Amino acid sequence: MKSMNDLVQNFPQQLKEAIQIGEKAVLTKAKNSIRNVVITGLGGSGIGGTIVSEVVASNCTVPILVNKDYFLPSFVNEHSLVIVSSYSGNTEETLQAMNQALNMKAKVVCVTSGGKVEETARKEKLDLILIPAGMPPRACLGYSLTQLFYVLEGLELITMNFREELDSTIKLLEKEQKSIQEEAMSISDFLLNKIPILYISDGYNGVATRFRQQINENSKMLCWHNILPEMNHNELVGWTENHHNCAVLLMRNTSDFSRTQARMEISKVVFAKYTPHTRELWSKGNSQLECSLYLIHLTDWVSCFLADKREVDSSEINIINHLKGELAKI
């Protein structure tokens, strides 16, 4: 198996391959009008749903809910599209939600590399998009995320030119690869031996969540994040004493709403009173999708460099495997 560093390095190529897979995907027309979308999946398989739902929020004609549980909301019915996203195809929560979706007569589309999701999809004659197998789910975000755009477009729920934006992203990441790694190395130095606290504007919650999860899984560190303006109405009050073991990273975009930008500026002055470790990270790109994937690629590198400096195996997830083993006994 390739190392996590090799898999992160391959992200632009993965996006290219994902586009090829999406272009060949065969989707059947929904029997009923689609009035809502539920993307169900967890971990590395589910985070793509969060990111895509934010990117298409101003374009999609129906509401999108991202589900990360065993159960689907009761509004799901024959007018719902349920996208089942499970890289392994064996995620127990997602399998249960998938069976619920079938019982609720929803239109079901599956994105997976195999497993029981593929078996059920073929048995029930569901729309199925297969992505390459044999890698950690968190290292396959490019594959799974891209297919969500194709599903939404194929069922005539979005009209955005995501292909052009993905192509621009690939060119940007390839062009900036050296500087991306240099900045990622610098940020990993900044976060080493501290508790990372990530702040980002609303609309990019999935990006910060992805970074937190990568620090958890790859770097084997605890981390938390919040979004603005929401944190200005609660968490900001928690900054009332020194936290010199915390490192605040503000993840910013030049396109962030002006009032949110102002909140960032005021808030970082508050943070600086209680920790000497504050820093900003600015995205690059000409669209929300491009900025999101730029930040994701850069922060994926940060998590790998942190793992290297901490001398831990970025691919190892023994505690999760232990949890699954214990659940299997029940």
Report, as residue numbers or ranges, the catalytic residues.
Answer: 217, 233, 324
Coil, strand or helix at 194: coil
Cβ–Cβ < 8 Å for 127, 81: no
Residue 315 tokens, joined:
């691919």
Coil, strand or helix at 325: helix
Is the Cα torsion angle 278, 282, 288, 290 positive or negative in sign?
Answer: negative
Tell me the C-alpha distance between 152 and 227, whole Å: 26
Coil, strand or helix at 287: coil
Helices H / strands E in the chain, number of each: 12, 9
Please list the residues that pair with 194 across neighbouring strands.
none
Tell me the C-alpha distance between 328 and 324, whole Å: 6
Within the chain, residue ranges assigned H as helices are 4-9, 11-24, 43-55, 92-103, 115-123, 141-154, 162-175, 177-191, 205-217, 258-274, 288-310, 318-328
Nearest to 223 by CA among 303, 318, 122: 303
Cβ–Cβ < 8 Å for 58, 182: no
Within 83-140, residue ranges assigned H as helices are 92-103, 115-123
Cβ–Cβ < 8 Å for 138, 296: no
Token pair 């599903």 in the structure block, residue: 151
